[in-house]
């Protein structure tokens, strides 16, 4: 699923933007690897979609020690934070992950 305004506001309230910017290279690498893996399973000529990558990236984030520690320290026991953060990462990086589909490489946000 895509990042909704509701999810974005919840992430901002709990300072997930700091988590993202503080470990930007980690999240970029995780997203690139998930995108590459998702692309491998598609028929020739089909483009990778956000939910294809999210399906690969989410289980990785659910066990990521950096995210787990952040959620634990922030005392956020809800299980949806990994999914929200997954959507946030892909929203931030989608243009970087799919430059050909976007008509050229765009800068990371």
At 96 the pLDDT is 92
DSSP string, 16-32: HHHHHHHTHHHHHHHHH
Q: Is the pLDDT of residue 26 over 90?
A: yes
Query: Where does the pLDDT of residue 104 fall: very low under 50, low under 70, confident under 90, or very high at 90 and above?
Result: very low
- Give the whole-angstrom CA distance, residue 4 versus residue 90: 12
At 100 the pLDDT is 55
Residue ranges covered by each domain of the chain: 5-97
Q: Are 86 and 54 a contacting pair, CB within 8 Å?
A: yes
Query: Where does the pLDDT of residue 85 fall: very low under 50, low under 70, confident under 90, or very high at 90 and above?
Result: very high
Q: List, in sequence order, the alpha helices (H) in the chain.
A: 5-13, 16-22, 24-40, 50-62, 65-73, 81-97
The C-alpha torsion from 94 through 97 and 15 to 74, rounded to 10°, is 120
Which 8-state DSSP code applies to residue 109? -
Query: Where does the pLDDT of residue 1 fall: very low under 50, low under 70, confident under 90, or very high at 90 and above?
Result: low
At 44 the pLDDT is 87
Q: What's the mean per-residue pLDDT of the chain?
A: 90
Closest Cα to residue 38, out of 16, 67, 62, 60?
60
Q: List, for residues 61-79, the tens digit of each pLDDT value.
A: 999 999 999 999 999 999 9
């Amino acid at each position: 699923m895509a990042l909704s305004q509701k999810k974005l506001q919840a992430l901002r309230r709990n300072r997930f933007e700091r988590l993202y910017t503080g470990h930007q290279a980690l999240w970029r690498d995780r997203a690139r690897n998930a995108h590459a893996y998702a692309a491998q399973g598609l028929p020739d000529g089909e483009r990778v979609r956000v939910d294809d990558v999210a399906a690969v990236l989410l289980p990785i984030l659910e066990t990521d020690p950096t995210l787990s520690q952040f959620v634990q320290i922030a005392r956020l026991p809800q299980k949806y934070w990994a999914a929200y953060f997954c959507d946030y990462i892909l929203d931030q990086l989608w243009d970087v992950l799919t430059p050909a589909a976007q008509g050229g490489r765009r800068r990371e946000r």
